[in-house]
Structure 1
Amino acid sequence: MSVETPVPLQVFPAVDTKPEAEELELGTKVADDGPSYTPEEERRVRVKQDIFMLPILCFMNICAFLDKANIGNANTAGMSKDLGFSTSQYNALLTIFYVVYTAFQWEMVLLRYINPRYFLTGVVFLWGLASTLQGITVNYGGMVACRVVVAALESGGGPAIAFYFTMLYPRKEFGLRWAIFQASSCIANAFAGAAAYGLVQANTSIAPWRLVYLVESTPTFLAAVLIFFMVPSGPDQCWFLNDREKQIALERVQRSQSLEAATGYNMKHVKAAFMEPWTYWIALIHFFGGAAFNSLSVFLTAIIRDMGYTSVNAQGLSAPPYIVAYIFACTVAYLSDRWSVRGWFIAGAELIGGIGYLVISYAESTGVRYFATYITVIGVYVGQPLMFSWCATNADSHSKRAASLVLFLVTGQLGSILGSNIYNDPPRYHKGNSVCAGGLFAVVALCISGTFYLKMRNRAKDRKYGPADPNAVIVPTEDGSDHPAWRFVI
């Protein structure tokens, strides 16, 4: 049935009031006269959310990448030599991390049951502790144990933020915020390279590779404290908003997505997500993109070193490409949100990245090859956040979104496992670079064909139901089928 105004629903756990979603007939749309807030009021809420939340979450992501990828810098600084690891043992450490990280991707669904602030605080603090312990490890078994714990806990941190962001921001704003968050890993990689450059030259009694772990894991504990005291559990629980602004924050999300009960999942919607062709399409895109994205963060320093630079200089030279890539990633994401386009931007970025890989591998000039690292990092780090956005914003219920994100994340990590095992033919790394280039070219083809596929789906719904009503507040269908007012982001 229809009512004149949207029912104010709580879409987060940790709620005091009982959700009223059951009072609305499933599969309907609640039409009204438009938002209850002015554009200026909406702008104030959005700016406050960005100022108070994004920096903390980005800092968390920087810490996650430092703790995940610092093994590359530690190895360049002498870890394998000091502990007697063979090349195959080192590659096994990388593979083990991604296998465990893949197996625990489901942790993000706990955000519908556990207060996000407590959940994120716990996993961040514990993975920081495990990462620190890598700096005092004396054998291969100890290093394996630390990497397993870090992987299991990090898989419930960063990936959960994609789901968390869909609970905080409308679809039209997700892309830029997610890009700012995920591309902050560029800053992490730049910092890791610069920090490792300094730590390798430090004149201390502690081995440089141990310093890399001990120093680069320390900020993670600060991130856990900031999350506990500063990160809200939902749009209407933001401590920095007044009562009116909290209501606006909640309504913004409801208007962009759908009215749903506060906690738990609808298994019919989960099943519908796995019956949706796009779920597998975007997952395959992430598989190929993930192979390049994650291997790049681990192997870029080694790639630069084997161009003929010293290990110390390679650490420093690996930082600038990431800084430039961060600027490009945020700029392109802004344009993607503004025009509501994902596929074409991803295709263009990954085409550039694939070309960069081939230049790194086959060009003769060292200067040209190093310049190609900029092209490669820009392409990969522009495309990756937009893949997440394309997946997270193309589901019309939290249950569908959670299911599609889990598959998306798992396949991406399977790509990471592939990427961690193909860089074993120095100094040119023909195999690794060629496989990553081929994967990115596959992404280009999938994005172009996927864009036309989603356009076809949207046009079919337009012909059947008429143009979508921009003021419709959607109540998800009971059986999980797409709501008539829902349209895909292309």
Structure 2
Amino acid sequence: MPPEPNQAHIAAPPRQALGRTASDGTTSQAPTSDATRDDAYIAKLNKWWTDEEESSIRRKLDVRIVTVSFLLYLVALLDRSGIGNAKTAGLEKSLRMSDSQFQWLLTIFYIAYILFQFQVVMYKLLPPRIWVTFCVFVWGVAGVCQAATTSWSGMMAARFFLAVSEAGYGTGFALYLSFFYPKTETGLRFGWFISAGAISSAIAGAIAYGLVHAKTSVEPWRLLFLIEGVPTLIMAPAAYFFLPNSIQSAKFLTPREKQIAEARLFRPPPSAALQIKEAHPFSWHSIKQQLNLSQAAAAFTDPMSYITAALFFIINVGYSSVPVYTPTLISEMGFGSIKAQGLSAPPYVLAFILSLFFCWLTDRLQIRGPICTVLLIIGAIGYLMLTTLRSTAARYVGIWLVINGLFPFIPILYMWLMDNQASESKKGLGLVIFATIGQCGPLLGTHLFPASEAPYYVRGTAVSAGLLLFGVLVSAGLSVRFWSVNRRRDRRDATVEQGGENVEAKGDVKYDGKARSYGGELEGSMTEADRRKIDVLLHGEESPYFRYTI
């Protein structure tokens, strides 16, 4: 992946990329109008490749990146959630654990997962496929080691390293996608990634049920950890050989396709820093080239990092507690364990479908906040039904609303944060803040539903409903704020285009009262649309040409 942009190394873009290519091979200059402020319009205006070429590139990237990452996340969640099924299969009795010790097995995972979220930045510092392979191998070994443990302390150690390695992979995938896809295409692909969780839950339940009833010489819970851990070890070499480090190192793309893939992102062309990183990934010089500390530090002062983190915390409080009372609710309906498993699956199937649909929709419309608000309202209604209603059928409907309001929300929230932080370094640290705060939600959520308050859990459902309603206000307020900023910048642009006082000489960009001149070959070949894009690259969200995704 290329290093962060700075004024010193932005090179001139290809001449054919600066306008619309006519049928005779000539390139026309892009007209300046209000529409050039729209990212999609600018991309189309500067497009010098065919739709077929673009589709082919997307397809090649999807086969390598989306497919492999989906499978990796699926096996990751199998390893993570296997502890609950292992308990059912006799883990506690075999290792002579108390209930308190078992609860610590759950807690140590969350503690390690939260503390090691900073590993997101490793996607910037190391070649991604090396980092991902390392994480997959470590959590595969940790997962298999769970099957060999003979004590509670051994299981604690295995769970700790499982969490550390998974933390290094999962959250950073959102950043990894931004290395290859424009923001109009990342939502659906991240939706596929997250949706692996729903498939994993179904697979884990089926495996656990089969092993509990199987006649084997190995204790069922040990066999469970082996069956869930071995596929992870198999996926480690797959990650190394199939995942690309960057567009330029993707051997499955032709030279022209690499140029097109880079042009779709409209970022500076790769420099020698990329070759340094891939040839010497562990050198201090490579690290300094890849991580722009000033841009990364800006994430600490950006309210977006903390607002989205608060929303993620709220979602995790509500979502982590769903499995606590779902079995109780199903049992109240008078069904046995097999039918109960069947009744708990349909809401997740619908959540899987809705996640993909809403991710596709928000990619297409480039509107994420209002969809987040609607999903929060749906989840809040579901929790209010669980708080106030006692009819089993009505409460089952409430479960559907909670699951299908909160599950699709998660990938959209990730993308909303990524869309509104311009530089890769800032996105990386922004994700660290986002995930570290947000992943604390399960620590609260799992304590809101003590067994003594069964079967209605009024306190837990009421608190969850209240938090979601607060989230509605936060997400709606953030959407209005972004809309207001975008509208103000649109008015400013209109003043410039009408010949107002902000108009500068050719090659200059007005920025907080100062003219920006790019100079040289770049200045002479740039259209107005290109100048605006370059200004965003240089100044991020502070650029008057940056538009927030509402």
| TM-score, length of structure 2 as denominator length | 0.78
1:146 deviates by 1.2
- In structure 2, give the amino acid aligned to 1:161: F
Partner of 1:416: 442
Q: Could you give the per-residue CA deviations for residues 252-286 of structure 1, whole angstroms, max 9, x where no partner exists?
A: 1235x999975422222223222222222111111
Judged with a 3 Å threshold, the aligned counterparts in structure 2 of structure 1 residues 238 and 303 are, in CA distance, closer, same or farther, namely farther
Partner of 1:11: 2
Partner of 1:375: 401
Judged with a 3 Å threshold, the aligned counterparts in structure 2 of structure 1 residues 136 and 372 are, in CA distance, closer, same or farther, namely farther
- In structure 2, give the amino acid aligned to 1:55: T
- 2:421 counterpart (385, 389, 395): 395
2 CA distance for matches of 1:205 and 1:196? 16
Partner of 1:72: 84
Asked whether the 8 Å contact 2:421–2:541 carries over to 1, the reply is: no
1:230 deviates by 0.7
Asked whether the 8 Å contact 2:2–2:269 carries over to 1, the reply is: no
Asked whether the 8 Å contact 1:303–1:429 carries over to 2, the reply is: no
- 2:534 counterpart (446, 471, 474): 474
Partner of 1:143: 155
Partner of 2:227: 215
Q: How many percent identity over aligned positions?
A: 35
Asked whether the 8 Å contact 1:306–1:427 carries over to 2, the reply is: no
1 CA distance for matches of 2:391 and 2:92? 30
Deviates most, 138-147 or 56-65 = 138-147
1:137 deviates by 2.5
Judged with a 3 Å threshold, the aligned counterparts in structure 2 of structure 1 residues 220 and 309 are, in CA distance, closer, same or farther, namely farther
> Equivalent residues in 2 for 1:54-69 (5 A)?
54-69=66-81
The reply to whether residue 119 of structure 1 matches residue 136 of structure 2 is no
- 1:442 counterpart (456, 459, 470): 470
Q: Could you give the per-residue CA deviations for residues 411-461 of structure 1, whole angstroms, max 9, x where no partner exists?
A: 111112222333322444444433333332222221111110111121222
Judged with a 3 Å threshold, the aligned counterparts in structure 2 of structure 1 residues 174 and 68 are, in CA distance, closer, same or farther, namely same
Judged with a 3 Å threshold, the aligned counterparts in structure 2 of structure 1 residues 288 and 124 are, in CA distance, closer, same or farther, namely same
Asked whether the 8 Å contact 2:316–2:442 carries over to 1, the reply is: yes
Partner of 1:292: 318
The reply to whether residue 32 of structure 1 matches residue 18 of structure 2 is yes
Partner of 1:101: 113
Q: Could you give the per-residue CA deviations for residues 335-361 of structure 1, whole angstroms, max 9, x where no partner exists?
A: 111111111111212222233334446
2 CA distance for matches of 1:137 and 1:357? 39
> Equivalent residues in 2 for 1:20-419 (5 A)?
22-24=8-10, 32-33=18-19, 34-254=46-266, 262=274, 263-296=289-322, 299=324, 302-303=327-328, 307=332, 309-311=335-337, 313-360=339-386, 363-419=389-445
Judged with a 3 Å threshold, the aligned counterparts in structure 2 of structure 1 residues 217 and 430 are, in CA distance, closer, same or farther, namely farther
- 1:453 counterpart (460, 467, 481): 481
2 CA distance for matches of 1:417 and 1:462? 43
Which stretches in structure 1 are left out of the alignment for 5+ residues? 1-9, 14-18, 26-30
1 CA distance for matches of 2:472 and 2:269? 31
Q: RCO greater where, 1 or 2, for CA within 8 Å and sep 6 or more? A: 1
Asked whether the 8 Å contact 2:75–2:231 carries over to 1, the reply is: yes
2 CA distance for matches of 1:230 and 1:163? 18
Judged with a 3 Å threshold, the aligned counterparts in structure 2 of structure 1 residues 477 and 170 are, in CA distance, closer, same or farther, namely closer
Partner of 1:4: none
Deviates most, 307-316 or 453-462 = 307-316
2 CA distance for matches of 1:341 and 1:50? 23
Q: Which has the larger radius of gyration?
A: 2
- In structure 2, give the amino acid aligned to 1:458: N
- In structure 1, give the amino acid aligned to 2:210: G
Which stretches in structure 2 are left out of the alignment for 5+ residues? 12-16, 20-45, 275-288, 498-527
Asked whether the 8 Å contact 2:143–2:158 carries over to 1, the reply is: yes
Partner of 2:547: 487
Q: Could you give the per-residue CA deviations for residues 93-116 of structure 1, whole angstroms, max 9, x where no partner exists?
A: 222211110110011101112111
Aligned length: 471
Deviates most, 325-334 or 282-291 = 282-291
Asked whether the 8 Å contact 2:49–2:260 carries over to 1, the reply is: yes
SS at match of 1:236: coil
Deviates most, 145-154 or 215-224 = 215-224
2 CA distance for matches of 1:316 and 1:250? 46
Asked whether the 8 Å contact 2:6–2:538 carries over to 1, the reply is: no
Asked whether the 8 Å contact 2:422–2:537 carries over to 1, the reply is: no
1 CA distance for matches of 2:9 and 2:258? 23
Q: Could you give the per-residue CA deviations for residues 272-328 of structure 1, whole angstroms, max 9, x where no partner exists?
A: 2222222221111111112233444x6476455654655555445433332221111
| TM-score, length of structure 1 as denominator length | 0.87
Asked whether the 8 Å contact 2:536–2:546 carries over to 1, the reply is: no
2 CA distance for matches of 1:333 and 1:209? 37
1:158 deviates by 1.0
- In structure 2, give the amino acid aligned to 1:484: P
- In structure 2, give the amino acid aligned to 1:48: K
1:476 deviates by 5.5
- Cα RMSD over matched residues? 3.0
1:177 deviates by 0.9
1 CA distance for matches of 2:219 and 2:320? 26
Judged with a 3 Å threshold, the aligned counterparts in structure 2 of structure 1 residues 470 and 382 are, in CA distance, closer, same or farther, namely farther
SS at match of 1:474: helix
Judged with a 3 Å threshold, the aligned counterparts in structure 2 of structure 1 residues 201 and 474 are, in CA distance, closer, same or farther, namely farther
1 CA distance for matches of 2:83 and 2:382? 24
1:49 deviates by 1.4
